[in-house]
């Protein structure tokens, strides 16, 4: 089993736990992403990840319920498919190729593009629904170290809003959330 498989399992577990614990009626709560509600956080993941994997690696994830009918179920179905892919030894030799993202081993592409998105959106879902906002400290450290040097390029791409200023000495999670344009 690859390191990425274990990392994904850990990060996805955090999102899964939050999605399963969303209080009744809270799926319509405003999310930190402008114009989104909690349900849209799930919708974003389940609508961009499958086509991204299919286009880049020919991977077709099994369809689950829709985010409108069952957001937690929609997330679980997609996430379980990604985990099965990462756990499959045959995936070790698969490549991901995308005109905008370049060529990478499939597990590394999942780590770079999907795992990091799930990590930050775990915080979004928790913030929107009043759940525990604590993210895995190790993953926060890895992501922050990876994105801080790319500040200008990420801002230019439109993936993140303006960085939110935080006090000097702020913890890594606060710095990560602020880096992505969210108010910690």
The pLDDT of residue 161: 84
d(CA 39, CA 128): 10
Q: What is the pLDDT of residues 32-41, one digit of tens each?
A: 999 999 999 9
Structure token pair of residue 81: 């498919």
Class of domain 3-135: mainly alpha
What's the whole-number mean pLDDT along residues 87-101?
89
Helix (H, G, I), strand (E, B) or coil at 89: helix
d(CA 69, CA 52): 23
Q: What is the pLDDT of residues 117-152, one digit of tens each?
A: 999 999 999 999 999 999 999 999 999 999 888 888
Strands (E), 38-170: 95-98, 102-105
Q: Please name the residue that has the structure tokens 């996805």.
A: 12
**Res. 69: pLDDT tops 80:** yes
Work out the burial of residue 167: count CB atoms within 10 Å of its CB; fewer than 13 is exposed, 13-18 middle, 19 or more buried. exposed
What's the whole-number mean pLDDT along residues 45-56?
96
The pLDDT of residue 184: 94
Distances (CA, A) of 49 to 75, 114, 126, 129, 150: 11, 7, 20, 23, 22
**Res. 100: pLDDT tops 80:** no
Domain segments of the chain as ranges: 3-135
**Res. 29: pLDDT tops 80:** yes
pLDDT band at 22 (very low <50, low <70, confident <90, very high): very high
The pLDDT of residue 154: 82
Which residues, 6 or more positions from 54, have their beta carbon under 8 angstroms from its beta carbon? 60, 61
Nearest alpha-carbon partner for 175 in 148, 156, 136: 148
The pLDDT of residue 1: 52
């Amino acid at each position: 089993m690859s390191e990425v498989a274990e990392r994904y399992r850990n990060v996805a577990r955090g999102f899964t736990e939050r999605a399963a614990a969303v209080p009744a009626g809270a799926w319509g709560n405003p999310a930190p992403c402008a114009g989104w509600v909690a349900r849209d956080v799930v919708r974003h993941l389940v609508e961009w990840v499958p086509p991204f994997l299919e286009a880049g690696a020919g991977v077709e994830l099994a369809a689950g319920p829709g985010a409108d009918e069952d957001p937690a179920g929609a997330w679980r179905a997609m996430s379980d498919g990604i985990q099965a892919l990462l756990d499959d030894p045959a995936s070790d030799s698969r490549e991901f190729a995308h005109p905008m993202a370049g060529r990478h081993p499939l597990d590394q592409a999942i780590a770079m593009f999907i795992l990091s998105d799930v990590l930050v959106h775990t915080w979004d879902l928790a913030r929107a629904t009043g759940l525990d906002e604590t993210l895995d400290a190790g993953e926060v450290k890895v992501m922050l170290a990876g994105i801080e040097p790319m500040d200008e390029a990420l801002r230019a791409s439109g993936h993140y809003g303006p960085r939110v200023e935080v006090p000097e000495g702020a913890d890594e999670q606060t710095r990560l959330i602020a880096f992505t344009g969210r108010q910690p």
